[in-house]
Amino acid sequence: MINCLSYGKPFETMAVVEKVAPAEALTHFSFEKKTVDGVPSLVFTYELSPEDIVYGLGETMHGINKRGYRYIIFNTDDPHHSDNMPSLYGAHNFIVVDGREHFGVFFDTPARVVFDIDSKGDGLLTVYCETEDLKLYQLEGDTSYAITKEFLGVIGQSYVPPLWAFGYGQSRWGYKSASDISTVAAKYEKAGIPLDFICADIDYMDRFIDFTVHPKRFPDMKGFCRFMGSRGVHLVPIIDAGIKIEPGNPVYEEGVKNDYFCKRSDGKNFGAAVWPGLTHFPDFCKPEARRWFGRQFKTLTDQGIEGFWIDMNEPATFWLEPGTPAAEWTPVPDEERLTPESKRADEYHRFYHDYDGRRMVNYDVHNVFGHFMAMGSGEGLNEVLPDHRYLLFSRSSYVGTHRYAGIWTGDNHSDWLMLKRNLTQMPGLNMVGLLYSGADTGGFGGNVSRELLLRWNALSDFTPLFRNHSYKCAIRQECYRFNGVSDFRDVISLRYRLLPYLYSEFVKAALAQDMYMKPLGFAWPEDETARRCEDQLLVGENIMIAPVLEKGAEGREVYLPVAMTEVRFDGRDFATRKVPAGTYTVNVPLNEVVFWILPDRCVPVANKLCMSTKDMDLADVSLLGDGSSYDQYRDDGYTKDVSEKNIVHLTK
């Protein structure tokens, strides 16, 4: 059961796309309208019971259970990831309370929202929405999983990227030219490690200007894409939010002419410096500006490019154009506003959007900027690529972004905590439909160790987006640069042997508006150990994973809620054995991956290893596990007609 309560004049975020009945009353929470730190707010409070778990909040720090901390949902570009970070890049205000009562709530507002989930140990869950305009969706159901599925049912179906987007991707801020990129591809080939895409970071552009290609570094982009494509490798360039202010830049000129940019309080176009220097931000709140921005991708798709990542869309800025009028209003600072994150909060009071004729300061609609950019980009790509699916992943997002794009979790670090956070963020992201997601494998900032990179690959084997990406000042992080390259080949090979299953489960989850990665508590809600489990996940319907997440560990303890089939992959063969329910210690050498198949289930694995999905035969599979059949989704990997009719019933 789902219903919706409205407060004030809610902003249309386009998160929910199905009709939802109006609510008669607020349930579970007590409510107060009051001014908090100078901001008129809507405040909701619920008293948690000791046994309650709180799931959700998408891309946030801490564990799968969000209880015990305070989260500030205000999209932020801050590369210093740690558990102390109250804000990340996305805004996913959906939570499910699981315990004495079961219910879900989605606070649908583009404004700043603070979730205090029992941070003081007083059992209070208090949600401060810094707005007087809100849609509050209330969900009831018997289990957290049922409630989540109900929510996924109203926010629309996940976008489905092409098959190659499920292959292994290599990236680095620092690849500068066509020759840099083809060298990386050649080295992967030589190392015998499969590869499907390489990302081009900002250096491929002419002076970091969106929708341009550096004439010297990529003298023949079309020819280069064709050449790479023949080797099974796709190029995935980055696009940033800001449009460089420069006469002669056609995107800038068109944007000015048609009034597509965000405004200052004096009505002039707002200027902020990002990578290309001073830029204007497209006003993605305007449907016509979104459509216009989306169509710009044609410049690059005409060169043979079919995948992109979109960045800096919180939006992130370096400094504002001198002379930008001061903010008309800023809230009284509270503790968090005095942290580095908030030193810049003032800038979001200094530019404006035109939303359906209403002038709105960015601060009040801040959390949908990246979402609307992704929406425009996805719709544009759909239009300019009439015959193929596109790959698109965004840094910033809101609920609903999944209909157009996936996300990556931003500038994490090469440390073991971030590996854990990669795992704990996945269920929350899946709860808001963001199935196509993943972290910078190996970590973005800092220097990765061989051991950490191998263990991280073993987790990313299962995340839909599997991309190794790093900061230009970190040590080089391509797998072939480390000793004992065959260990990397062994671990990444699993991805390609499992792709028939992973791709099938992803598409089936998208079609059914279901989750692809789930916490154990969603499958075994009565099992207290499963409910509290923070380091194992379900992948699709049939696999459980328990990755090694500790430095120096030779294996780990694993909890099996029921008896399962243990599968050990050594880079070549799958060894299976039955293991009883309960806890046991599994040994996992650095070049191996162990996972578990649920009872009476099967998992299709590719019989042959291919070096890119271009050569993959999704039908050449064997079934592992003690079930007798599997319903496999398979298609050509790029057709836009993704539907149940492509499901094939396989039997042993």
Binding of residue 413 to ligand MIG (CB under 6 A): no
Q: How far is CA 7 from the centre of its chain?
A: 29
Q: Whose Cβ is closer to ligand MIG: residue 94's or residue 309's?
A: 309
Taking the C-alpha atoms of residue 13 and residue 353, their distance in angstroms, rounded to an integer, is: 14
- Minimum CB separation of residue 208 from ligand MIG in Å reads 9
- Minimum CB separation of residue 652 from ligand MIG in Å reads 44
Among 2, 225, 238, 498, binds ligand MIG (CB under 6 A): 238
Residue 127 near residue 114 (C-beta atoms within 8 A): yes
Taking the C-alpha atoms of residue 474 and residue 489, their distance in angstroms, rounded to an integer, is: 22
Q: 325 CB contacts (<8 Å, ≥6 apart)?
A: 264, 265, 266, 350
The residue assigned the tokens 């992943």 is 393
- Minimum CB separation of residue 171 from ligand MIG in Å reads 8
Report the amino acid identity of residue 599.
P
Q: Whose Cβ is closer to ligand MIG: residue 172's or residue 349's?
A: 172
Binding of residue 421 to ligand MIG (CB under 6 A): no
Name the nearest CA neighbour of 486 among 164, 191, 171, 74: 191
The residue assigned the tokens 């552009």 is 205
Query: Looking at beta carbons, which pairs linking 121-124 to residues 24 or more positions away fall under 8 Å?
Result: 121/68, 123/47, 123/48, 123/49, 123/50, 124/45, 124/46, 124/47, 124/48
Q: Whose Cβ is closer to ligand MIG: residue 172's or residue 280's?
A: 172
Q: Whose Cβ is closer to ligand MIG: residue 437's or residue 493's?
A: 437
Taking the C-alpha atoms of residue 421 and residue 232, their distance in angstroms, rounded to an integer, is: 31
Q: Whose Cβ is closer to ligand MIG: residue 371's or residue 531's?
A: 371
Q: Whose Cβ is closer to ligand MIG: residue 81's or residue 280's?
A: 81
Contacts with ligand MIG, 71-100, as mask; x by CB under 6 A: ------------------------------
Q: Whose Cβ is closer to ligand MIG: residue 130's or residue 411's?
A: 411
Output the CA torsion 334→339→340→345 (10° steps).
-10
- Minimum CB separation of residue 446 from ligand MIG in Å reads 14
SS3 35: strand
- For the segment 453-492, give every residue that binds ligand MIG (CB under 6 A): 469
The residue assigned the tokens 């601060």 is 363
Among 201, 283, 347, 490, binds ligand MIG (CB under 6 A): 201
DSSP string, 192-230: T----EEEE-GGGSSTT-TT---TTTSTTHHHHHHHHHH
- Minimum CB separation of residue 80 from ligand MIG in Å reads 13
Q: For residue 166, what is the DSSP state?
A: G
- Minimum CB separation of residue 499 from ligand MIG in Å reads 25
Count of residues that bind ligand MIG according to CB under 6 A: 9
Taking the C-alpha atoms of residue 322 and residue 315, their distance in angstroms, rounded to an integer, is: 18
Binding of residue 173 to ligand MIG (CB under 6 A): yes
Query: Count of residues for the chain?
Result: 652
Among 108, 130, 306, 411, binds ligand MIG (CB under 6 A): 411
Taking the C-alpha atoms of residue 83 and residue 80, their distance in angstroms, rounded to an integer, is: 10
Q: Whose Cβ is closer to ligand MIG: residue 98's or residue 411's?
A: 411
Q: Whose Cβ is closer to ligand MIG: residue 62's or residue 469's?
A: 469
| Angstrom distances, CA of residue 307 to CA of 239, 390, 392, 556, 602 | 11, 6, 6, 37, 32
- Minimum CB separation of residue 202 from ligand MIG in Å reads 4
- Minimum CB separation of residue 457 from ligand MIG in Å reads 18
Residue with the CB atom nearest ligand MIG in the bound state: 173
Q: Whose Cβ is closer to ligand MIG: residue 53's or residue 202's?
A: 202
- Minimum CB separation of residue 419 from ligand MIG in Å reads 17
- Minimum CB separation of residue 395 from ligand MIG in Å reads 6
Binding of residue 311 to ligand MIG (CB under 6 A): yes
Taking the C-alpha atoms of residue 291 and residue 390, their distance in angstroms, rounded to an integer, is: 16
Taking the C-alpha atoms of residue 184 and residue 170, their distance in angstroms, rounded to an integer, is: 8
Among 64, 129, 198, 202, binds ligand MIG (CB under 6 A): 202
- Minimum CB separation of residue 157 from ligand MIG in Å reads 27
Report the amino acid identity of residue 631.
D
By DSSP bridging, strand 537-539 and strand 543-545 are antiparallel
Binding of residue 395 to ligand MIG (CB under 6 A): yes
Q: Whose Cβ is closer to ligand MIG: residue 172's or residue 495's?
A: 172
| Angstrom distances, CA of residue 75 to CA of 36, 91, 370, 410, 586 | 20, 6, 9, 12, 39
- Minimum CB separation of residue 170 from ligand MIG in Å reads 13
Q: Whose Cβ is closer to ligand MIG: residue 58's or residue 242's?
A: 242
Q: Which residues bind ligand MIG (CB under 6 A)?
A: 173, 201-202, 238, 311, 395, 410-411, 469
